[in-house]
Chain A
Amino acid sequence: MKKIKLNELLPYAAATVVSAAGEGLETMGFTEGVRVVRLYDAPCGDPTAYDVGGTVIAVRGSDAEKITVMVSGVWA
């Protein structure tokens, strides 16, 4: 188990949200214990789409930095 920032997650890797420090991020679904999967990046590399508890949400890199997630494998 290792804590990393959401933007450090590798593509298609899954993680569990530990905390979200940014305004409005929790109401978007980034609450403790939610499973997130990093999906794909926009053509310019930012924002990135994440599967957050069954809903696909686009998050800018600057916001993803504020979200701490827990990974169980050897990612990041």
Chain B
Amino acid sequence: MGLTREREGRRVKKTGVYKVALVGNPNVGKSTLFNALTGLSRHTGNWTGKTVDIGFGRLKGAKEISICDLPGCCSLSALSPEERIASEFISGGDADVTVIVCDASALRRNLVLVLETLELTENAIVCVNLVDEAARRGISVDAEALSAKLGVPVFKTSAASGKGLETLKNAIIGTLTGENRLEKGRNGNAAPRCAETSRERAARAAGIAEAVTTRDADVRGAFMLKLDRFLTGKVTGRFTMLLLLALVLFITMVGANYPSALLSRLFGSGLRGLKGLLETTALPKPAVGALCDGVLGTLATVISVMLPPVAIFFPMFTLLEDLGLLPRIAFNSDRCFARCGSCGRQALTCCMGFGCSAAGVVGCRIIASPRERLIATVTNSLVPCNGRFPALIALTTLFFANGAGLLSGLESAAVMTSLAVISVAATLLFSKLLSTTLLRGEP
């Protein structure tokens, strides 16, 4: 890492490429902002700790500017891997400009990181994101006042709707080319260079947040609290989780039937045509058979059986993710997993495992403790992934669904849900087993 590199001033790189880093607390919309700025489609989701590595992309319309999406962190004290990545990136002088992204409705928390970052770098822009969301909750932020207090430019954006992005983009380019440079150092309120204790910093953040934020009555907050109460209730929480799982599986199974049949018919007629055509040529018959019935036939079957469930399940899972349901699931099941020597985050990787085991295993990076991470990784395969669904669905329909139409669909969905519940139980059992035997005493 370039820890020894000079930090002061902006360096014009030999390659002519500028680097812009996006930092911010978890779940403030950094990845959404990144996608909006670069036009890429980095995976976004409404839950904390989703991004654990650095994403790179080029600014739309200004290819010489590269944008780096850093993982979300609450501080730069390097306690967790994602915090270490972010703090090394900023303090190492890798970024020419650092854009600090904040959640407008939680400025008090977010400003701690802003102040910390400003101690490491002078070339920073503060981006107060999610202003639309905050406005719905009756919270507004005075950007000018905040800018005066911090001594750096502050911009308000709503990355999801695209509001304020053009201004932010111009500000980034302006800072890189030196237009905004005069503003720097002029301000008396800039962050002190000497190290502040975390307590002093938090107190200062609280004071600034108080001064620049105005709050009206929070109508939406009361509703969200009621909804949260329902989703995490003793009976309602468990029931809703199970029902949602069943619903997702039901829609996947019933919905996949139609495109499956269609694809299979389509491929079937195509293959027959191809076979007829090839048989008229000089090719030997066994070769034509091996190609059409063997290779292509199998491929066609696999695609027509596998593709529809995958194509239906993933968008639905993304919807649940964006609704913010995953943190609630983790919250509800943390105790179960904690008893088995793991944590609620394993519930998330488990859920991802239903979509794709590979995604689930990769997702295990969000777990901080090495032991819990290993447990989550090893036991992820116990949850049937989307690729195994078609086989399970076929067997379920074969053995359990005797009725016709919707009824048989409901019946198979019930069986599939039980299978899913059994697999989660197996995951818990083996997590417990691993943590008390092989991985006993590991941190």
Contact = CB atoms under 8 A, between A and B. Distances in A.
Interface residues on A, range: 20 to 34
A23 B327 CA distance: 22
A40 B75 CA distance: 27
A32 B335 contact: no
Given A31-B199, A32-B203, A24 B79 contact: yes
A56 interface: yes
Interface string A5-41: 0000000000000000001101111011110000111
B238 A43 contact: yes
Interface stretch (B106-114, B123-131, B246-254, B431-439): B106-114
Given A23-B79, A55-B106, A46 B334 contact: yes
Interface in B218-257: 225, 228-229, 232-234, 237-238
Contacts, number: 82
B285 to A, nearest CB: 65
A10 to B, nearest CB: 16
Interface of B, secondary structure class, is: helix
B233 A27 contact: no
A1 interface: no
Interface residues on B, range: 20 to 34
B74 A43 contact: no
Given A26-B202, A43-B237, A49 B331 contact: yes
A29 B205 CA distance: 11
Contacts of B80: 24
B362 interface: no
B335 A27 contact: no
B334 A58 contact: yes
Contacts of A52: 109
B214 interface: no
19 contacts: A24-B80, A26-B198, A27-B74, A27-B77, A27-B79, A33-B203, A34-B202, A34-B206, A39-B228, A40-B232, A42-B237, A43-B234, A47-B331, A47-B334, A49-B232, A53-B206, A54-B105, A54-B109, A58-B327
